[in-house]
Structure 1
Amino acid sequence: MNINEQVVLITGASRGLGAAIARAFSREGARVVINYYRSEKLANKLAEELGDQSLAIKADIRDSNQVTVMFEQAKKYFKHPVTTIVNNALVNYVFDPQNRKTPDTISWDDYMQQLEGSVKAALNTIHAGLADMKNIGFGRIINIGTNLVQNPVVPYHDYTTSKAALLGFTRNMAKDLGSYGITVNMVSGGLLRTTDASSATSQEVFDLIESTTPLRKVTTPEDLADVVLFFASPWARAVTGQNLIVDGGLVMN
């Protein structure tokens, strides 16, 4: 299925990386569902920018009932089921190396909050979209990860652990869903310049990344968004269970 035939649901799409992914899909002609939780004004502004082939829907992705309703609303609006899911949302997290939780201050509740926002949320979206994907014999599920799993240069314990779990989740889902024409992959970025989540990062850190990265640049949300398009495109039809690191070559895997 070409991108311009797809209905793409992006969680946490009102700002930052999610908004860049929404714009990338819209640019290629896809119908786009902009999921948000708190940022209603930004979500509606983005939907207005992208036009009537987009729809902003509020849902807490940790709540399976709200996710199911969101998928039903999208199907009703576009008169076509969701074909493509991008699990992007980041729940209550800021990348602040100076004020991060350390081994003596981090709690199990911190881990659970990130695991629920990452793995549980991805499970909820898959449950909500799976029946329609099986019915049409096509599905694209793209999970957003991090290169910190391979190289925890800053040990964000709860966040990185949740993304490591999401990688295992990705590969297991890929194994089970491939026979239905559904691929499941991950795109893992480095620190992005600049999103709300990375706004607490100092210029010195960005400069260090730039100087030690083979491409001599800090990855942008737009850079990563274009790779998400690849996994949704016909060019990736034989690719599943993979984790593609998009960080300018900082981590080579």
Structure 2
Amino acid sequence: MQISEQWVLVTGGARGLGAHISRAVAREGAGVVINYHRSDKAAAALAEELGPRAVALQADVTDAAAIQHLVRTAQERTGHAITSVVNNALTSFAFDGDARPKLDTIAWERFSQQFDGAVKGALNTMQATLPAMRAAGFGRVVNVGTNLFQNPVVPYHDYTAAKAALLSLTRTAANDLGPDGITVNMLSGGLLRTTDASSATPEAVFDLIASMTPLRRVTTPAEFADAVLMLLSPWSRAVTGQNLIVDCGLVKG
């Protein structure tokens, strides 16, 4: 299925990296369901910007019933089923190495919060959209990960552990859903220059990371969003259960 034929749910799609992903899929002609939790004004403005094939819908990704309702409402509003999901929503996190909790003080509640957002959130969206994907014999799931579990240059313990678990779910889901024509992959970025979550990062850190990449720069949100398009497109139809790192070459493999 061409991107222009798809309806894509982007969780956390109203701002930051999510807004770049929403714009990228809309630019390619896809319908986009912009999920948001609290960013109602940003979501409404983005939907208006993207035009009639965009709809903004509120739901907390950690609430399975809310996500089921979002999927039903999206089909009622658009007349189309969601065939593709980008699990981008990030639960209350800032990339600020100086302020991060250290291993000797971090509370398990922070891990639970990140696991709920990353793993439970992805499970909820996959379960809600699976019936329509199976009916179509087609589906694309793209989970947003991180290169930090390969290269923990800054040890964000809670965030990194949750994304590592999400990679495990990505691979088991790929195996389970492959016979239905559904691919499940992860895109793992490095530090992006710049999103809401990375705005607390000092410029010196960006510059240091850029100096260590083969491209001598830090990936932008727009560049990451373009990589999402690749995994939604027909060109990736034989790619599933994979973790593609998009960080200007900093981490290999």
TM range (shorter): over 0.9
Please name the residue that 1:8 is paired with: 8
Aligned residue in 2 for 1:235: 235
Q: Please state if 1:94 is matched with 2:77.
A: no
| Per-residue deviation, residues 79-135 of structure 1 (Å, max 9, x unmatched) | 111000000000000000000011111111110000000000000001100011111
Q: Using the alignment, how far apart are the partners of 1:240 and 1:39 within structure 2?
A: 32
Tell me how far apart the structure 2 counterparts of residues 220 and 56 of structure 1 sit (CA, whole Å). 24
Equivalent residue letter for 2:82: V
CA deviation vs aligned residue, 1:148-201 (integer Å, no higher than 9, x gap):
011000000000000000000000000000000000000000000111100110
Output the CA distance in 2 between the equivalents of 1:200 and 1:170: 29
- Distance in 2 separating the partners of 1:77 and 1:234: 26
CA distance in 2, matches of 1:96, 1:178: 38
Q: Give the equivalent residue in structure 2 for 1:119.
A: 119
Per-residue displacement from partner, 1:48-79 (whole Å, max 9, x unpaired)?
11011100000000000100000011111221
| One-letter amino acid of the counterpart of residue 231, structure 1 | L
SS of corresponding position for 1:35:
strand
Post-superposition shift, 1:47?
Answer: 0.5
Deviation of 1:210 (Å): 1.0
Distance in 2 (alpha carbons) for counterparts of 1:93 and 1:252: 26
Aligned residues: 253
What SS is found at the alignment partner of 1:14? Answer: coil
Counterpart of 2:146? 146
Aligned to 1:136: 136
The alignment partner of 1:130 has SS state of helix
Separation in 1, partners of 2:215, 2:77: 42
Aligned letter for 1:18?
Answer: G
| Identity over aligned pairs, percent | 60
Does 1:55 pair with 2:55?
yes
Q: Which moved more, 1:71-80 or 1:26-35?
A: 71-80
- Pairwise CA RMSD: 0.5
SS at match of 2:74: helix
What is the one-letter code of the residue matched to 2:216?
Answer: R
Aligned to 2:178: 178
Give unmatched runs, 5+ long, in structure 2.
none
> Which TM-score applies when normalising by structure 2?
0.99
Runs of 4+ displaced beyond 6 Å: none
- Supply the distance in 2 between the matched residues of 1:58 and 1:118 (Cα, whole angstroms): 17
| Letter in structure 1 aligned against 2:228 | V
User: Residue 199 of structure 2 aligns to which amino acid in structure 1?
Assistant: S
- 1:195 aligns to what SS in structure 2? coil
Q: Partner residue of 1:168?
A: 168
What corresponds to 1:252 in structure 2? 252
Q: Which residue of 2 aligns with 1:200?
A: 200
- CA displacement 1:4-25 (0-9 Å, x = unmatched): 0000000001111100000000
